[in-house]
Amino acid sequence: MDSWRGPVRVLIAAERAIFVLAGAMFFVAAFALTFRAAIELWQLIVGPSSEIISAGTDFLDVMLLVLMVVELAYTVIISLRGSVLRAEPFLLVGLIAVIRRMLVITIGGSGHGVTSAQPVELLVLTAIVLVLVASLVVLRRIPAERNENLDIFNVKDPH
């Protein structure tokens, strides 16, 4: 069993290096997207009133993407700390992604005509939002000490 100790340490170090690189890339992406959101906000403020819906949609789209990337970066940080992975960040990313898609459908569809699939897709997305919100409510009601010890992914830190 001791003959595996060296290779296991190499793999653990490689895993940590990949997490550090992924986290750094998430933060670079978040800063770039935040800069892009500032540009979109400026367009919303100074742009013509005829473009306000388009500029507002673009701004919301980029900001929701920023929130998704930051939540993913937070998850990487939790992994690097060796903490137990929790479901809440994943549920938040999913919720933001669904809301983002709903905005694209409703605002994007308002100017281009509605296809027959869009109401069905919005209904499915609404159901997904309800399930994700209910899941978040249930997780928040679990006492803090029990929630911290709840390892839903069965991930154990090898250290």
**pLDDT value of residue 132:** 94
At 78-105, the pLDDT tens digits run 878 876 777 888 889 899 999 988 888 8
Token code pair at residue 96:
């933001």
pLDDT, one tens digit per residue, over 42-81 is 999 998 988 888 888 889 889 999 999 998 888 888 878 8
pLDDT of residue 1: 55
What value does the mean pLDDT take over residues 113-142?
A: 86
Can you spell out the DSSP letters for the chain?
-GGGHHHHHHHHHHHHHHHHHHHHHHHHHHHHHHHHHHHHHHHHHHS-GGGHHHHHHHHHHHHHHHHHHHHHHHHHHHHHHTPPP-SHHHHHHHHHHHHHHHHHHHHHHHHH---THHHHHHHHHHHHHHHHHHHHHHHHHS-HHHHHH--TT------
Q: Check residue 111 and give its pLDDT.
A: 54
pLDDT (average), residues 19-36? 94
Amino acid 145: pLDDT: 56
Q: Where in the chain are the domains?
A: 2-149
pLDDT at 159: 45
